Structure 1
Amino acid sequence: MTTATRKVVPMTELRQTQPTTNLPGLGRRTFLQGAAVSAAVIATGALFRPAAAATGDPVLRLTYDQPNGSTTVLDEVGRSNFTVHVSNNPAERVPGVRGNAFRTDGFSTWATGQFATPLTTQMTIQTWIALESYPSDSEQPYDALTPSSIIYQRTNDAGFDIAINTYGEWWFTAHVGGQWRTVKAPWLFPLYEWVQIAAVVDGDAGQLRLHLDDAAGPKVASVAIPTGSRFTQAAGAPLVVGKASKDVTTGVFLINALNAAYDDTRIYDIARGAAALTGEYTSGIAGASPAHDVALQVTGLRFADDILRPRYHAMPPANWTNEPHGLVRHDCSYHMFYQRTPNGPFKWQMNWGHMTSTDLVHWTNMPDALRPELNDREARLGAVAGSGLSGQGSKGIWSGDVVSVDGTAHAFFTTVNFGGPFDPGITRASSTDPDLLTWTKASTGVIDKNAPAHVADFRDPYLWQEGGTWHMIIGAATDAGGALEHYTTQDIQGQWTRASRPFSTVSFASMDIGSAIWEMPVFEKIGTHAGRDKYVLVVSPIGRSVSKLSEPYTRSVYWTGTWNGSQFTPDYARPKSLDLIHGHLSPTVAHGPDGKLVAIGIVDERSSSKMQLDLGWAHTFSAPREWRLLEDGQTLGQRPIAQLMTLRAGSAQTATNVAVTGEHNLAAAGNQVEILAKVDPASTGARYGLCIGASPDGSEITRIYYDGNDIVIDKTRSSRNFENEEAVLLRGAYDEAVFGKPHTFHVFVDHSVIDVFINDAAAFSNRIYPTSRGADGAAASTGLRLYSEGGQTRFTQTDVWQLQSAWPTPAF
């Protein structure tokens, strides 16, 4: 494993006589909340001649001090308004360096306006910016990337552009002396901190410069231009803040805008010097709002009117997510990582999102832990980083697992790259930080798909320690379908050896359900039965005949069985479904505060891309479930963890001894509630259960019931929104001999996601999309009913609690 290095570059190394093409390589770096590579700490002012005049007033200044929600930004010099483009999210303001800052969302908000003040041989464009993430791109190899822009005003043959690509490389391009000229920063752009940047055209001094002032110290890069060169201004083109000069779209999504906060953007008609810029940074940063937990928060305004977004389920602050993974207890807190696109509700170039909790219910979002990085393959094409590195995830950081050993957390993750080794592969990163904000990646991958396994594909490692041996299983694809790879080591930071025998004593072909690959494996001891330790193996088969919307459904399945230290012997070849009804999959697990095994999975969308774009987010996680072995010794039991009771807001509304034929309206109502309905199993109709999400006019309603054989969710009228792709009735076989006849329905409703537990033993999670609103704009489909058909059912007691949010209230 390599560690971060600080390379002090001689000043002459950055003095270019031609536009930058081959920049000096960088040493290995460690991300500290995305801190910049400290590769070239340059003494202030050492690279260029001082400007003749550096005290002029700006000819444009955007301070962004309008109130949160304002769609205009005033140019305080020209007194004209810039317009904030809004189509999905509102025009947000957050605490900035001085006053408010402008928050862009990465896909639908940016600012545009006119700027025509004449600029000739000298110009400075400067701004404060806190960048949450590097812009997305369409997962192209390095030499086919399309950058985003921090700020630009350009046409094909005039103007300027401060551009940045998906790996954090950035540069300043300006049309000077009759041609485009570029100075490229030899440092990656800092993340999660306020920095001040400035791009300077100094025709009088014969330089094009790029300045960065950040926590690591002032830096300057420059290239020579002909003395007296004049800047060609694109005065008729708009000045744009927070969006690329060349759009990249996929389907309905714009994917390469910027996810950032901006403050105090200025343009000068002089070439400002480093001393003045650094002085402004030093005075400004002293009073700036903390970037990662204030300026880069999502404001309360963004989802204030969203009646579908969950409030007490774990999920990212915005945009797109996939499976949670790597749930681990480290230094008295739980850390959960997850697949994340931080820049919009679309799936491109996965990061590892990160959130923390002390009880697995209340969560705090943290800066992303891992992100795609450059390899030696890209460095040979001219990238400023990646030299000598491999397996860094240039195409994405996919799912994995985290274990904590003696104060050090070790993350093993699927790395996907643009060719070369470890495409895909397994790579390791480590952290000794109590908050797991700082990670150091290994300089190369740990396991390659093609050596020694030669499987068609693999992903999603899962680890555990037994005695002195560490075990890793990896979801795999073979010619016969889904399977597992198994590796062991005595040293978690050492070499891994492929097991000589298959992980299971039963062939994977006979265990598979017709998939192409098994994802997200989990293997844990689950209990003891008849004097023998029992284990559970959970996988999520996908592809081939497995489908999201038709049988066999994409879902997690499991086997119970025994383990001899090297092989698992399942109790049965054909797996059991983790959920009664599909809709929840890929759980990540850890032992909870009381030592019991807890699982949290993804409950993915059943909505169109257009609806996800309109909402500005996609997918959520399940309520945490406690896993245990049921009395038959071969079935996994699931119930809500006790800590969920801490969400209850006051006392329950209770109805007792209600005999129901048809539907009975409860006095309680809500779309953020917990329902505990108890039934006399000796007094039931042929079909009985609950109705949730009922609108006053009956146009929207979801029924959940038992019909004597199956658990049913009827979503045919769950939503009047035509973007709902699963408005159907779904059935799931219910094993009454194992679970018992349903006598308890424990249901958690959180706007568009529900978690259902039957008899504290069987479970499923699903999505509904009630969209009816009242005259006041509030959600109208909040009715709750008891349900019975084919006879009368006696509900002995029904309790309904209103539930609080699991997240801190936004401060702005």
Structure 2
Amino acid sequence: MTEQRRTGRGERHLLGRRTFLRGATVAAAAAAVGVPRPITAGAASAAEPVLHLTYDEANGSTEFLDAVGQKTFGAHVVNNPAERVPGVRGNAFRTDGFSTWATGEFTAPITSQMTVQTWIALESYPSGTEKPYEELTSSSIIHQRTETAGFDLGVNTYGEWWFTATIDGQVRTLTAPWLFPLYEWVHIAAVVDGEAGELRLQMDSSEGTQEARLEIPAGATLDLAAGAPLVIGKAAEDETMDIFLVNALDAAYDDTKIYAVARDKATLAVEYTAAIAGAGTADEALQVTGLRFADDVLRPRFHAMPPANWTNEPHGLVEHGGNFHLFYQRTPNGPFKSQMHWGHMSSADLVTWTNHADALHPELNDREAKLGAVAGEGLTGQGSKGIWSGDVVSVDGTAYAFFTTVNYGGPFDPGVTRATSSDPDLATWTKDPAGLFDRTGVNDMRDPYLFQDRDTWHMIVGAAVDSGGGLAHYTASSVDGQWTRVQAPFSTVEFGSMDIGSVIWEMPVFEMLGTHDGTDVYILVANPIGGTVSKLTEPYTRGVYWTGTWDGKQFTPFQATPKPLDVIHGHLSPAVAPGPEGKLVGIGIVDERSSSQMQLDLGWAHTYSLPREWRLLADGKTLGQRALPQLQTLRGTKQSVTDVVVNGDNRLDAKGSQVEILAQVDPASTGTRYGISIAASPDNQEITRIYYDNGDLVIDKTRSSSGFDNEEAVLLRAPYDEAAFGKPVRFHVFVDHSVIDVFVNDAAAFSNRIYPTRKDGDTALSTGILLYSDGGETVFSSVDVWQLRAPGRQRVRGERSRRPSS
């Protein structure tokens, strides 16, 4: 289906799966911008509103008082509370994008004139279910409508927005010729002026006053949707994906008003200027308040993760402007996967993270043509179906983001394209107008990764080849230059011999790991998926790696069979870059083992691993991983015991759901099985065991959770390479509510998800820590337990208003 949408006079087109009759073209409306029209209803500026919602109630209140009619509006609340955040004046109402909105009864003596106005700050455009342009189901900023009457201020997933009103029985739609801005308080007004014969849209923002007009018959009247509710923050027509509502709005609202007169352009502009001078910032308004997850005993506190909603792989870890920046896959509108954005956070030490506005979001290819304006050469590769994973490099003060662009067919579906930023904080990005290359030469591709070798830049991209998963390889003389595909395979060993039965490799990484016997040793990481690879059965979806040598053109692995990145699966797709001390650091995703219903109930999905420091072990072939030393800055109070002889379970006095445990074992005094147990309830009805068992590393999650839909409540066992890692004598474990990171001998590692849900009120009960030994006594020479603080994070720092780049 073509993405072209024609916009001739009187032509029917789809908005929100409903058919509207356009009374004029967008081009005609745009041409009328700024043309004054007389106000024939008297002194509109002096009129009083017939509805006024201030949203000044307390945080969490589910009621909103109409200051005019003294009627109570209600907040629809299922998953998240009715949050209040700093507004333009007083408080503002924060909608979460999928489960909160406001609704109430509205009646007024409106006939030929009306003005609907509100302050709003959008964090993102509504998601939808990723459909071609002509099939989009949109969202609404505010509406009161039925099939045959009412009005609607609508917006779609690309930031196009419009005002629809039923005039004398005919639906009229005025589409704004500019996109709705993100991360900025703006004041919008939709005006019906039947006496002057026009509809008007006005936005006052940092760009000044923008206006669009559409002629209607003089003397026309508005058909109100009598008896229909007034709804703020959700579409008139729901679109769902599985159990998720996917077309609500992620925004903050303040001072919503309706007038029974047509307010004029100058009056509205003066109101904006007067209020914006003392307004709070959109950065503050778009925060997730502490109320949202206050009683959530599963949400991690000291792991890097978005403020809310859905995430997937972190990527593009890079040092730029004196800070580390991490980008990540994100749906900002809810705990579901749709219309991928690039989220963005930064840190000085890879421990304390600051959340930022999204760096990249899907945009419409050849938008000018679709809006009816004169199309130039058009835009391609803008990720109309999502901006997927990639990599970022910083060169001479400029950062280059390379990402996977996915569209609805046509060029660069999928493909790779690029964006650049010279901001020290990487707040604004400019996309290339066209993609760099598409999947020509391979069956499918995704997730570019860059490295420089002498005067040549190399890019590897995860690919599907005829034999299964593999890589595509490209080179360029400069990072901003022309990329050429290398015909020779990236590896001297055939991909078919290296693969584990997948369809495609994702998120590749290639870095120099260390030197052994005078030879530089490189590591290639891939994440095979599809085919026989599965999330819950062997071969597992997980990160794997090869070590070997690099001659400047090809990688020669030491062995064809890959090694697992983690001893036990559960962590994958790490973003990798030199860390604070120049040593390689990896941060991956630790994905959920919970149902869609639980993710909907919680309001978030997935988290990241703790930062791991990578190194080459003494055998010259094996990756060693340990917790980043900077994590020690999170340590609070400490409890210690020494020389504890354990045979069975030994419960420590120390406990907690946000702790670091360092247990040292006497290598000469161990049982057959030994380790530690965490997240244990007082009666051990909930408990997770981590232990070594005669050559295997084990995590027993069969009782990790009671009363939770855990899809992997099983015992997981995997071979432990004792020749490379040494006999397990040092267990370094981090517990952060539902995510754990385990390091053995500062060499072997795994991360996993557990879901201890038992609590007394808001207090978690499954916080016990036990030492464990079976098949003989084990001597724990020392055990230290630190309570860990949650680092200051999740605040947006100094963002600029985000205007769409295309």
> Residue 286 of structure 2: which of 289, 293, 296 is its match?
296
Determine if the alignment matches structure 1 residue 526 to structure 2 residue 513.
yes
Determine if the alignment matches structure 1 residue 502 to structure 2 residue 512.
no
Any conservation in 2 of the 1:654–1:798 contact (CA below 8 Å)? yes
Partner SS, residue 213 of structure 1: strand
Aligned to 2:752: 766
**1:391-540 superposed matches below 5 A:** 391-450=381-440, 453=441, 455-540=442-527
Determine if the alignment matches structure 1 residue 574 to structure 2 residue 553.
no
Any conservation in 1 of the 2:24–2:215 contact (CA below 8 Å)? no
Distance 1:616 1:302 in 2: 9
Residue deviations 1:512-542 (CA, integer Å, cap 9, x gap): 0000000000000000011100000000000
Aligned to 1:309: 299
Aligned to 1:130: 121
Distance 2:90 2:31 in 1: 30
Any conservation in 2 of the 1:463–1:472 contact (CA below 8 Å)? yes
Once the two structures are TM-superposed, the CA of residue 53 in structure 1 deviates from its matched residue by 2.6
Residue deviations 1:459-482 (CA, integer Å, cap 9, x gap): 000001111110000000012100
Once the two structures are TM-superposed, the CA of residue 24 in structure 1 deviates from its matched residue by 4.3
> Residue 734 of structure 1: which of 720, 739, 743 is its match?
720
Aligned to 1:564: 551
Partner SS, residue 208 of structure 2: coil
Determine if the alignment matches structure 1 residue 693 to structure 2 residue 679.
yes
Determine if the alignment matches structure 1 residue 94 to structure 2 residue 81.
no
Letter in 2 for 1:245: A
Letter in 1 for 2:240: T
Distance 2:383 2:221 in 1: 42
Aligned to 2:148: 157
Determine if the alignment matches structure 1 residue 664 to structure 2 residue 667.
no
Aligned to 1:239: 230
Determine if the alignment matches structure 1 residue 617 to structure 2 residue 604.
yes
Determine if the alignment matches structure 1 residue 210 to structure 2 residue 201.
yes
Residue deviations 1:295-337 (CA, integer Å, cap 9, x gap): 0000000000000000000000000000000000001011100
Once the two structures are TM-superposed, the CA of residue 255 in structure 1 deviates from its matched residue by 0.5
Distance 2:769 2:619 in 1: 35
Any conservation in 2 of the 1:374–1:386 contact (CA below 8 Å)? no
CA pair 383-262 structure 1, distance change in 2 beyond 3 A: farther
Distance 1:787 1:246 in 2: 56
Residue deviations 1:421-479 (CA, integer Å, cap 9, x gap): 000000100001111111000010001112xx2x1100000001111110000000012
CA pair 234-262 structure 1, distance change in 2 beyond 3 A: same
Once the two structures are TM-superposed, the CA of residue 47 in structure 1 deviates from its matched residue by 4.1
CA pair 729-80 structure 1, distance change in 2 beyond 3 A: same
CA pair 350-41 structure 1, distance change in 2 beyond 3 A: farther
Letter in 2 for 1:679: V
Once the two structures are TM-superposed, the CA of residue 42 in structure 1 deviates from its matched residue by 9.2
Determine if the alignment matches structure 1 residue 23 to structure 2 residue 14.
no
Aligned to 1:805: 790
Partner SS, residue 506 of structure 1: coil
Any conservation in 1 of the 2:125–2:159 contact (CA below 8 Å)? yes
Once the two structures are TM-superposed, the CA of residue 168 in structure 1 deviates from its matched residue by 0.3
CA pair 677-122 structure 1, distance change in 2 beyond 3 A: same
**1:103-142 superposed matches below 5 A:** 103-142=94-133
> Residue 767 of structure 2: which of 763, 782, 785 is its match?
782
Any conservation in 2 of the 1:41–1:217 contact (CA below 8 Å)? no
Partner SS, residue 429 of structure 2: strand
> Residue 221 of structure 2: which of 209, 219, 230 is its match?
230
**1:349-368 superposed matches below 5 A:** 349-368=339-358
Letter in 1 for 2:755: Y
Aligned to 1:72: 63
CA pair 719-41 structure 1, distance change in 2 beyond 3 A: farther
CA pair 768-42 structure 1, distance change in 2 beyond 3 A: farther
Any conservation in 2 of the 1:19–1:224 contact (CA below 8 Å)? no
Distance 2:212 2:105 in 1: 29
CA pair 371-47 structure 1, distance change in 2 beyond 3 A: farther
Any conservation in 1 of the 2:121–2:185 contact (CA below 8 Å)? yes
Distance 2:209 2:105 in 1: 31
Once the two structures are TM-superposed, the CA of residue 21 in structure 1 deviates from its matched residue by 6.2
Determine if the alignment matches structure 1 residue 654 to structure 2 residue 640.
yes
Residue deviations 1:249-283 (CA, integer Å, cap 9, x gap): 01110000000000000000000011111111001
Once the two structures are TM-superposed, the CA of residue 614 in structure 1 deviates from its matched residue by 0.2
Partner SS, residue 65 of structure 1: coil
Distance 2:707 2:698 in 1: 22
Determine if the alignment matches structure 1 residue 793 to structure 2 residue 778.
yes
> Residue 257 of structure 2: which of 253, 258, 266 is its match?
266
Any conservation in 2 of the 1:299–1:810 contact (CA below 8 Å)? no
Identity %: 68
Any conservation in 2 of the 1:362–1:807 contact (CA below 8 Å)? yes
Letter in 2 for 1:794: V
Once the two structures are TM-superposed, the CA of residue 235 in structure 1 deviates from its matched residue by 2.2
Distance 1:608 1:309 in 2: 15
Any conservation in 2 of the 1:42–1:219 contact (CA below 8 Å)? no
Letter in 2 for 1:46: V
Once the two structures are TM-superposed, the CA of residue 122 in structure 1 deviates from its matched residue by 0.2
Any conservation in 1 of the 2:354–2:794 contact (CA below 8 Å)? no
**1:351-390 superposed matches below 5 A:** 351-376=341-366, 379-382=368-371, 388-390=378-380
Once the two structures are TM-superposed, the CA of residue 507 in structure 1 deviates from its matched residue by 0.2
Letter in 2 for 1:496: W
- More moved, 585-594 vs 490-499: 490-499
Any conservation in 2 of the 1:374–1:385 contact (CA below 8 Å)? no
Residue deviations 1:613-666 (CA, integer Å, cap 9, x gap): 00000000000000000000000000001000000113x200110000100011
Once the two structures are TM-superposed, the CA of residue 809 in structure 1 deviates from its matched residue by 7.8
CA pair 550-446 structure 1, distance change in 2 beyond 3 A: same
Partner SS, residue 649 of structure 1: strand
Partner SS, residue 614 of structure 1: helix
Once the two structures are TM-superposed, the CA of residue 681 in structure 1 deviates from its matched residue by 1.0
Distance 1:734 1:510 in 2: 23
Partner SS, residue 620 of structure 2: coil
Distance 1:476 1:535 in 2: 20
Any conservation in 2 of the 1:556–1:585 contact (CA below 8 Å)? yes
Once the two structures are TM-superposed, the CA of residue 49 in structure 1 deviates from its matched residue by 2.7
Letter in 1 for 2:749: A
Determine if the alignment matches structure 1 residue 756 to structure 2 residue 759.
no
The CA RMSD over aligned residues, in Å, is 1.6
> Residue 48 of structure 1: which of 37, 40, 47 is its match?
37
Any conservation in 2 of the 1:40–1:187 contact (CA below 8 Å)? no
Once the two structures are TM-superposed, the CA of residue 807 in structure 1 deviates from its matched residue by 3.1
| Equivalenced residues, count | 773
Any conservation in 2 of the 1:47–1:220 contact (CA below 8 Å)? no
Partner SS, residue 763 of structure 2: coil
Residue deviations 1:157-189 (CA, integer Å, cap 9, x gap): 110000000000000000012210011000000
Partner SS, residue 759 of structure 2: coil
Once the two structures are TM-superposed, the CA of residue 722 in structure 1 deviates from its matched residue by 3.6
Any conservation in 1 of the 2:679–2:769 contact (CA below 8 Å)? yes
**1:700-715 superposed matches below 5 A:** 700-715=686-701
Any conservation in 2 of the 1:53–1:271 contact (CA below 8 Å)? no
Determine if the alignment matches structure 1 residue 633 to structure 2 residue 613.
no
Aligned to 1:36: none
Any conservation in 1 of the 2:708–2:755 contact (CA below 8 Å)? no
Aligned to 2:3: none
Aligned to 1:32: none
Any conservation in 1 of the 2:738–2:756 contact (CA below 8 Å)? yes
Any conservation in 1 of the 2:514–2:616 contact (CA below 8 Å)? yes
Partner SS, residue 438 of structure 1: coil
Distance 1:150 1:97 in 2: 17
Distance 1:193 1:50 in 2: 30
Distance 1:118 1:249 in 2: 35
**Which blocks of at least 5 consecutive residues in structure 2 are unaligned?**
1-20, 797-806
Partner SS, residue 218 of structure 1: strand
